[in-house]
């Protein structure tokens, strides 16, 4: 199978509008004859469910949380980008497009990114209309802040809770449709497999997480909006429940998995403080607007930060990247922090941390302004660490945060399985090898509000009158019994190690060999260790309780079992991509200054992996990336 990106012809600026015209439509009376399943209720899923229901489709929406309002989009702090150019600082659709392609180190599809920039403005309009309380200027206009990887101020924000407010906007739109009966919501329900019949996605098999009941759900199309997979690292900024099961099961049913090695390590997280640690907490990138990042010049300096004189501080980002300073993209900031820690100059528990200091900003702007901008973040930091950032520098360290990789989709956001759409973080489409801050919210909402609702009609219109496959069809029965078998297997291992114990070990392997920097030897080692660990998991895991009840251990076990497989694909992809690009930093491929060195000749492509059965090596497919509007260059933020 060759990968057809289906990018429409024509000039970049006209592709989307032309395509929207060319897409087949479903007339309003016919929309109510279609059923669409949406898995996930975050920004992408919630927005899509509400929008499709508004248009007239019948939607079934699933989430593992007890309410769609709790999807992990809620935790995004900093903001959402849009090319409104309200600040009159030279922003434009093209500049947002350019910054995003460049930020992604020229590993994304031009047409997708351009479309994203194009719809960014409508997103802000939509959210404001929903009552999202974005920050305002005294004149009543929307306020903006700067974010990493950009030299314009285009980030809209609602204190440090932008993701929450945008999600609640989508959630409220969704609840409105639930009240109208257009959306049936299934909270605490987890998708455990995809049903494919006649090479089309026909529905899903789920587990009711309260009763444990396994159920089939059928539809004319299935949309996955299940987020990213960086919980493969165990310690990440993702919510504990975030998992890769939905996309992994779809991969095993034939959807290609693209660029799994592109995982973003966010530079500003609270450092690890103990072995029992269950997750890492992100501090918004917006802090880098006013905070200065530094370490002591000398290794092993044990003084408190405020006791270190100016002359003995190394503001390493400002030193190395004078043009962007503390606002370099995330991958670069993370790597620079790792470098100084590797030199022994790190400052927190185990020497794994750098300072993020507001001393100057407080002197320049006053405590009140800083409190106004970051008050809730500072409080959160103090609550977790017991340190007061108004008085002493914060300590931060990079942590896994976001996966740019995901299921491969074409321009219409359809995967390689017809009728299976993938939106938001779950797909691979827009961020290339590195995502810029405040772009995840933009992409999730773009996909959900403004892209999928158009493109899905094109597919549905081609299947008018066919109707969904009945759930008593053998295709459903077959998948259901596989799902049941897997649950029984997990419950019957009866080993001696807990799921978390395995997960922690898997995470350590991934972090050590496929984390901020990677090299051939380490990846090869990981590819030996992971299958071994997986085997021992199925031999020695201990899952208590029964299947037909609320059983959190069982939920976790199923997710970790899938991570055990996904981790291997991630390492394999990292090994095969013999270049450094964006977050994927291979030690073998760097410039003399230690920057990522791309290999455009051989790797200007998307790697999309096809599942070929357990025990077989997955097949690597390639979608060549063509750059007609920007010239890939060595990224420079100096």
Partner 1 sequence: MKLHLRVWRQRRPDAAGAFADYDLDDVSPEMSFLEMLDVLNERLTLGGEEPIAFDHDCREGICGSCSLMINGTAHGPNRGTATCQLHMRTFADGDTLRIEPWRSAAFPVLRDLIVDRGAFDGIIQAGGFVSVNTGSAVEANLIPIGKPEADLAMDAAACIGCGACVAQCPNGAAQLFTAAKVSQLAILPQGRPERARRVLGMVRAMEESFGACSNFAQCEAVCPKSISIGFIARMNGEFLRAALAQPAAD
Q: Which of these segments, 66-74, 332-340, 427-435, 587-595, binds partner 1 (CB under 8 A)?
A: 66-74
Which residues touch 402 (CB under 8 Å, ≥6 apart)? 228, 230, 263, 264, 266, 425, 435, 440
For residues 332 and 435, what is the distance between their CA atoms, to the nearest angstrom? 11
Residue 16 interacting with partner 1 (CB under 8 A): no
Catalytic one among 330, 577, 598, 635?
Answer: 330
Query: Quick one: DSSP state of residue 622?
Result: E
Residue 415 interacting with partner 1 (CB under 8 A): no
Kindly state the smallest distance separating residue 396's Cβ from partner 1, in Å. 14
Query: Quick one: DSSP state of residue 447?
Result: I
Residue 154 interacting with partner 1 (CB under 8 A): no
Q: Contacts with partner 1: how many residues (CB under 8 A)?
A: 83
Q: By C-beta, is 76 or 523 nearer to partner 1?
A: 76
Q: Which of these segments, 179-187, 425-433, 561-569, 573-581, binds partner 1 (CB under 8 A)?
A: 179-187
- Binding to partner 1 (CB under 8 A) within 303-342 occurs at none
- Binding to partner 1 (CB under 8 A) within 73-92 occurs at 74-75, 84, 86
Q: Which of 356, 380, 570, 596 binds partner 1 (CB under 8 A)?
A: 380
- Binding to partner 1 (CB under 8 A) within 569-628 occurs at none
For residues 80 and 436, what is the distance between their CA atoms, to the nearest angstrom? 10
Cβ neighbour number for residue 479 with a 10 Å cutoff: 24
Residue 240 interacting with partner 1 (CB under 8 A): yes
Asked if residue 391 lies in contact with residue 358, where contact means CB atoms within 8 angstroms, the answer is no
Which residues touch 29 (CB under 8 Å, ≥6 apart)? none
Q: Which of these segments, 106-114, 126-134, 430-438, 596-604, binds partner 1 (CB under 8 A)?
A: 126-134
Query: Quick one: DSSP state of residue 142?
Result: B
Residue 65 interacting with partner 1 (CB under 8 A): yes
- Binding to partner 1 (CB under 8 A) within 416-435 occurs at none
Cβ neighbour number for residue 601 with a 10 Å cutoff: 7
Kindly state the smallest distance separating residue 237's Cβ from partner 1, in Å. 8
CA distances from 596 to 148, 260, 294, 585 (A): 18, 18, 22, 6
Q: By C-beta, is 184 or 197 nearer to partner 1?
A: 184
Kindly state the smallest distance separating residue 275's Cβ from partner 1, in Å. 9
Q: By C-beta, is 20 or 620 nearer to partner 1?
A: 20
Kindly state the smallest distance separating residue 462's Cβ from partner 1, in Å. 23
Kindly state the smallest distance separating residue 569's Cβ from partner 1, in Å. 25
CA–chain centroid gap for 175, Å, is 24
Q: By C-beta, is 143 or 318 nearer to partner 1?
A: 143
Nearest to 377 by CA among 286, 274, 457: 286
List the structure tokens of 500: 């978390």
- Binding to partner 1 (CB under 8 A) within 254-293 occurs at 273-274, 276-279, 281-282
Question: Hunting for tokens 């900003």 — which residue is that?
Answer: 361
For residues 72 and 65, what is the distance between their CA atoms, to the nearest angstrom? 10
Q: Which of 58, 144, 155, 165 binds partner 1 (CB under 8 A)?
A: 165
Q: Which of 176, 253, 525, 620 binds partner 1 (CB under 8 A)?
A: 176
Asked if residue 393 lies in contact with residue 437, where contact means CB atoms within 8 angstroms, the answer is no
Asked if residue 595 lies in contact with residue 613, where contact means CB atoms within 8 angstroms, the answer is no
Residue 139 interacting with partner 1 (CB under 8 A): yes
Which residues touch 613 (CB under 8 Å, ≥6 apart)? none
- Binding to partner 1 (CB under 8 A) within 193-232 occurs at 210
What binding mask, one character per residue, do residues 105-124 give for partner 1 by CB under 8 A, x or -? ----------------xx-x
Query: Quick one: DSSP state of residue 636?
Result: -
Active site residue 330: yes
Q: In 131-277, where does DSSP find H-type helix?
A: 162-179, 245-252
Residues with active-site annotation = 330
């Amino acid at each position: 199978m060759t990968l057809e990106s289906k990018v429409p012809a024509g000039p970049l600026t006209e592709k989307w509008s032309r395509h929207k015209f060319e897409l087949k439509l479903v007339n309003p009376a016919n929309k109510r004859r279609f059923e669409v399943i949406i898995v996930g209720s975050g920004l992408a899923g919630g927005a899509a469910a509400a929008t499709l229901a508004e248009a007239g489709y019948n939607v079934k929406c699933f989430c593992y949380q007890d309410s769609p309002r709790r999807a992990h989009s809620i935790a995004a702090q900093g903001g959402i980008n849009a090319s409104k150019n309200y600040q009159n600082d030279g922003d434009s659709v093209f500049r947002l497009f350019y910054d995003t392609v460049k930020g992604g180190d020229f590993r994304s599809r031009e047409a997708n990114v351009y479309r994203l920039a194009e719809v960014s403005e409508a997103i802000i309009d939509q959210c404001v209309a929903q009552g999202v309380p974005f920050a305002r200027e005294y004149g009543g206009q929307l306020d903006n802040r700067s974010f990493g990887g950009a030299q314009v101020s285009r980030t809209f924000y609602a204190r440090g809770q932008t993701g929450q407010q945008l999600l609640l906007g989508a959630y409220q739109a969704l609840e409105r449709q639930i009240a109208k009966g257009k959306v049936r919501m299934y909270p605490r329900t987890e998708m455990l497999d995809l049903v494919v019949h006649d090479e089309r996605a026909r529905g899903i098999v789920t587990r009711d997480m309260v009763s444990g009941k396994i159920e089939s759900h059928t539809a004319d199309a299935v949309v996955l909006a299940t987020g990213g997979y960086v919980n493969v690292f165990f310690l990440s900024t993702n919510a504990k429940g975030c998992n890769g099961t939905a996309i992994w099961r779809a991969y095993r049913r034939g959807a290609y998995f693209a660029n799994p090695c592109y995982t973003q390590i966010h530079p500003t997280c609270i450092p690890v403080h103990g072995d029992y640690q269950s997750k890492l907490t992100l501090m918004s990138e917006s802090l880098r607007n006013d905070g200065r990042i530094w370490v002591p010049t000398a290794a092993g300096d044990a003084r408190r930060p405020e006791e270190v004189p100016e002359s003995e501080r190394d503001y390493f980002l400002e030193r190395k990247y004078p043009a962007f300073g503390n606002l370099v993209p995330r991958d670069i900031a993370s790597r620079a922090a790792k470098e100084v820690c590797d030199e022994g100059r790190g400052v927190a528990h185990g020497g794994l941390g750098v300072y993020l200091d507001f001393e100057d900003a407080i002197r320049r702007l006053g405590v009140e302004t800083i409190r106004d901008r970051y008050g809730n973040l500072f409080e959160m930091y103090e609550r977790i660490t017991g340190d007061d950032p108004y008085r002493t520098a914060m300590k931060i360290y990079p942590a896994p945060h976001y996966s740019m990789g995901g299921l491969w989709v074409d321009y219409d956001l359809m995967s390689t399985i017809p009728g299976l759409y993938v939106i938001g973080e779950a797909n691979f489409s827009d961020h290339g090898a590195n995502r810029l801050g405040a772009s995840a919210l933009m992409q999730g909402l773009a996909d959900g509000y403004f892209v999928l609702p158009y493109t899905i009609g094109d597919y549905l219109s081609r299947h008018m009158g066919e109707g969904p496959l009945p759930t008593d069809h053998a295709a459903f029965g077959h998948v259901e019994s596989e799902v049941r078998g897997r649950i029984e297997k997990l419950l019957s291992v009866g080993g001696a190690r807990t799921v978390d114990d395995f997960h922690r070990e898997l995470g350590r392997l991934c972090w050590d060999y496929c984390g901020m920097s990677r090299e051939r030897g380490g990846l090869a080692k990981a590819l030996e260790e992971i299958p071994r660990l997986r085997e021992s998991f199925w031999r020695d895991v201990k899952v208590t309780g029964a299947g037909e009840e609320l059983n959190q251990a069982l939920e976790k076990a199923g997710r970790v079992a899938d991570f055990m497989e996904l981790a291997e694909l991630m390492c394999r992809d990292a090994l095969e991509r013999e270049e450094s690009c964006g977050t994927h930093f291979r030690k073998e491929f760097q410039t003399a200054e230690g920057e990522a060195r791309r290999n455009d000749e051989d790797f200007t492509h998307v790697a999309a992996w096809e599942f070929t059965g357990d025990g077989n090596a997955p097949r690597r497919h390639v979608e060549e990336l063509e750059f007609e509007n920007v010239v890939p260059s060595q990224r420079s933020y100096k």
